[in-house]
């Protein structure tokens, strides 16, 4: 039973990572942009959820508003700044988005202070399923797992079965060709970027009740998402899914077996993958 709980936690954490990593990997794959500010949107989502839930008293209202705000910020950012980076070297993309992180972190510090906040689990879901006499599993975590799975399903459907998904896949495999076939590349890029940001913010908002809303939360998860993208292979959604679950498992196992070194476990996994398949699990060399 103990292991069942850990397994559920691992899957939940992995799926949450997938929400972030899928956006990150798509933005790499389609636009060729390395966006460090991706993690900042996770933070933005969590802080918006905290603030709006306090203002409206209702997390169910707070989450959609947070998503809309994040989508709008993403759109604004893409059209004003990120757009100028497409043709530039990765080095400048890293630097500029690093600058964005500093801006987001300081704005957070000015607007919300540097304290750690908590968000209450909504009353409807605030109970646990008893598994044995002493162990139980909180329903909200199951809910998060379910929502993430649903979103992954929708994403799969959109990308594989719809017209816009076709454009995204075309852009992912050959940008110039897609453009010359009449795909509105600037619009597509703006949309993909903003949706990626909205997804990251959604992950932050939905995770807010189970993790602390704290300064620097975006940076930590960003680096783990990098590990996911490296393991899965750039541009691959399937790879991101496999890698997210692997990282979820490695992290949870690490915390059980060697708590002090749990931070190292995922990087060791990455090192092994690098030696074995430097181009990632899902990409062919």
Partner 1 sequence: MTHITLPRSVLFLALLVLALFPLAGSTFYIQLGAKIIIMAIFALSLDLLVGHTGLVSFGHAAYFGVAAYALALIAPKYEPANLWLTLPAALIVTAIAALVIGFLVVRTSGIYFIMVTLAFAQMLYAIFHDTKLGGGSDGIYITVRPEMTVGGFKALDLESPVQFFYLALIMLNAVYVFLNYLLHAPFGRALAGIRVNEQRMRSIGFPVFSYKLGAFVLAGTIAGISGYLAACQFGFVNPEILAWHQSGTVLMMVILGGMGRLHGAVIGAAVYVLLQEFLSAQAFFGDYAKHWQLAMGSLIVLIVLVLPHGIGGFIDVFLRRYGYTSALQTENADD
Name the residue nearer to partner 1 (CB basis): 93 or 145. 93
Rounded least distance, CB 142 to partner 1, Å: 29
CA distances from 141 to 9, 138, 245 (A): 8, 6, 16
At its nearest, how many Å lie between partner 1 and the CB of residue 235?
10
Least distance in Å: CB of 130 to partner 1? 33
Residue 133 CB partners (closer than 8 Å, separation 6+):
none
Q: 91 vs 123, which CB is nearer to partner 1?
A: 91
In the bound state with partner 1, the residue whose beta carbon lies nearer, of 73 and 148, is: 73
- Distance, in Å, from the CA atom of 12 to the CA atom of 15, rounded to the nearest integer, reads 5
Residue (209 or 218) nearer to partner 1, CB? 218
Three-point CA angle 271, 222, 53, nearest 5°? 145
* Strand residues in 39-144 grouped as ranges (E): 128-130, 136-138
Nearer residue to partner 1 within complex by CB, 18 or 202 = 18
How far apart are CB 103 and partner 1 at their closest, in Å?
A: 4
The answer to whether the beta carbons of residues 215 and 205 sit under 8 Å apart is no
Q: Angle formed by the axes of helices 38-56 and 185-207, to 10°?
A: 60
Q: How far is the CB of 208 from partner 1 (least distance, A)?
A: 23
Of 72 and 102, the one with the shorter C-beta distance to partner 1 is 102
DSSP reduced 3-state for 213: strand
Which of these, 273, 178, 196, 166, lies nearest to 230 by C-alpha position? 273
By CB under 8 A, name the binding residues for partner 1: 28, 34, 81, 84, 88, 90-92, 94-96, 98-103, 105-107, 109-110, 219, 223, 226-227, 229-230, 234, 260-264, 267-268, 270-271, 274-275, 278
Give the C-alpha separation, 44 to 38, whole Å: 10
Q: Shortest distance, CB of residue 273 to partner 1, whole angstroms? A: 10
Nearer to partner 1, 122 or 215 (CB): 215
- Minimum Å distance from CB 190 to partner 1? 18
d(CA 209, CA 255): 21
Residues 267 and 254: their CA atoms lie apart, in Å, by 11
């Amino acid at each position: 039973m103990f292991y069942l709980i850990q397994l559920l936690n691992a899957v939940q954490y992995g799926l949450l990572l997938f929400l972030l990593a899928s956006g990150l990997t798509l933005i790499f794959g389609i636009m060729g942009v390395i966006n460090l500010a991706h993690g900042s949107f996770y933070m933005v989502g969590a802080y918006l959820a905290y603030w709006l839930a306090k203002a409206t008293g209702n997390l169910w209202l707070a989450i959609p508003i947070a998503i809309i705000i994040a989508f709008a910020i993403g759109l604004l950012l893409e059209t004003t700044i990120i757009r100028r980076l497409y043709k530039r070297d990765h080095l400048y993309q890293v630097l500029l988005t690093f600058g964005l992180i500093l801006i987001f972190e300081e704005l957070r510090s000015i607007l919300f202070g540097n304290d750690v906040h908590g968000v209450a689990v909504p009353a409807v879901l605030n109970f646990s399923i008893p598994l044995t006499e002493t162990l139980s599993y909180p329903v909200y975590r199951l809910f998060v797992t379910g929502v993430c799975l649903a979103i992954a399903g929708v994403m799969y459907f959109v990308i594989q079965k719809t017209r816009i998904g076709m454009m995204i896949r075309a852009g992912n495999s050959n940008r110039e060709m897609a453009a010359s076939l009449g795909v509105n590349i600037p619009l597509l890029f703006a949309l993909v970027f903003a949706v990626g940001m909205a997804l990251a913010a959604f992950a932050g908002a939905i995770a807010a009740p189970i993790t602390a809303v704290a300064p620097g939360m975006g940076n930590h998860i960003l680096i783990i998402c990098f590990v996911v993208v490296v393991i899965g292979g750039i541009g691959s959604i399937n790879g991101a899914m496999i890698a997210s679950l692997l990282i979820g498992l490695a992290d949870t196992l690490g915390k059980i077996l060697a708590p002090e070194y749990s931070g190292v476990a995922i990087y060791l996994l990455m090192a092994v993958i690098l030696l074995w398949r430097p181009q990632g699990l899902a990409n062919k060399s």
